[in-house]
Amino acid sequence: MKKQEKPPLRVDAARNREHVLAIARELMAQGDASLQLNQVARAAGVGVGTVYRHFPTRQALLEALVNEHLESLVVQARAAEAASEPRQGLHHFLRAVLKLQLADVGLAEVLSTQEDALPQTSKLKAELGVATQRLLARAHRAGAIRTDVGVDDVRRLICGVVHAVRIGGEPRAASERYLGILMSGMSAPTRRED
């Protein structure tokens, strides 16, 4: 019911697809975040038609590039549940999210966007949401994080931190400091008995 029959790719098509992805990744790594499809085509030595066939939009190509990293975040979120301290688990995980977004402009873009071009991206985002939710709920139960901070708030706020780190002048270890500020801001106010 869910999945339509999907005829497997022809070998040359699969090869081209991978090649385009590799070249696109390279261009991104060289600091060109514009990811213009015609430019990717030229760099990959294929016709623009080929690129557009495999990735109908810039967004689709971007997501295809990024999904690997997204997957890694899902894994790390699940791993973070093993931490003895719920608060530390969350902190470590958010640090990973931050670092990866800083290293991969595309990832930051995808995580800051609501609608996805690829179904797989939506699936991964949902998984990431669930895994994060578990981490967060644990921290809530431990009284470490304000209960009025939900999983979507965490996503948005960490994207905000990424933005803050990106736009700035002197680094001065901004990312670690800003993450600290966020964690401290999300902390439940220490209750004076009760």
Q: What is the DSSP string of 132-153?
A: HHHHHHHHHHTT-B-TT--HHH
Q: Determine if 90 is a binding residue for a copy of itself (CB under 8 A).
A: no
Per CB under 7 A, 6 contacts DNA: no
The answer to whether residue 165 forms part of the interface with a copy of itself (CB under 8 A) is yes
Stretch near DNA under the rule CB under 7 A, chosen from 51-59, 89-97, 143-151, 153-161: 51-59
List Cβ neighbours of 178 (8 Å cut-off, separation of 6 or more). 161, 164, 165
33 is a contact residue toward a copy of itself (CB under 8 A): no
Q: Write down the least CB distance from residue 4 to DNA, Å.
A: 13
Residue 88 CB neighbours (<10 A): 14
How many helices (H) and strands (E) are present in the chain, helices listed first? Answer: 9, 0
* From candidates 25, 32, 58, 120, binder to DNA by CB under 7 A: 58
If we measure between CA atoms, which residue out of 61, 70, 74 comes closest to residue 28? 61
Binding piece for DNA, criterion CB under 7 A, among 33-41, 81-89, 97-105, 180-188: 33-41
C-alpha 158/C-alpha 170 separation (Å) is 20
| Residue ranges binding a copy of itself (CB under 8 A) | 112-114, 148-149, 152-153, 156-157, 159-165, 167-170, 174, 177-178, 180-187, 189
